[in-house]
């Protein structure tokens, strides 16, 4: 989590953004978006995440979140990021995608 911005009031909503390293377009594949959505759903059901809105872009995710339980927002974010990144890495490693280099003929 950024050291510049802090969550000072656990009862308020926050706009947060998570980016993929080097802004790689990871979420253009449905499988990877489904991992994120599954993690968000788990955090809602088991961690007390209050998810008001989300937007999954090709290389980053925007959320408006709060909490409705005893777990702090920082802890929910930490757990979400750790679990989701591990699941994404496992999926990428187990299902390598052919990467094509497109060159211009100009």
CATH of residue 83's domain is: 3.30.70.1290
Mind listing the pLDDT tens digit for each residue in 63-97?
999 999 999 999 999 999 999 999 999 999 998 76
The residue count of the chain comes to: 106
pLDDT value of residue 102 = 46
Domain extent at residue 87: 14-91
- Token reading at 34: 């489904």
Q: Does any domain span residue 45?
A: yes
* Statement: residue 99 has pLDDT above 60: no
Residue 99: CB atoms within 10 Å: 5
pTM comes to 0.85
Task: Identify the H or E element spanning 90.
Answer: helix 73-94
pLDDT value of residue 82 = 97
Q: Give how many domains the chain has, as a whole number.
A: 1
């Amino acid at each position: 989590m950024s050291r510049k911005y802090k969550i000072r009031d656990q009862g308020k909503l926050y706009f947060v953004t998570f980016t993929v390293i080097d802004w790689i377009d990871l979420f253009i594949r449905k499988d990877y978006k489904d991992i994120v959505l599954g993690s968000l759903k788990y955090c809602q059901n088991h961690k007390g995440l209050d998810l008001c809105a989300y937007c999954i872009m090709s290389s980053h995710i925007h959320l408006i979140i709060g909490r409705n339980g005893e777990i702090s927002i920082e802890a929910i974010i930490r757990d979400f990021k750790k679990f989701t990144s591990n699941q994404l890495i496992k999926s990428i490693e187990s299902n390598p995608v052919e990467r094509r280099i497109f060159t211009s003929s100009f």
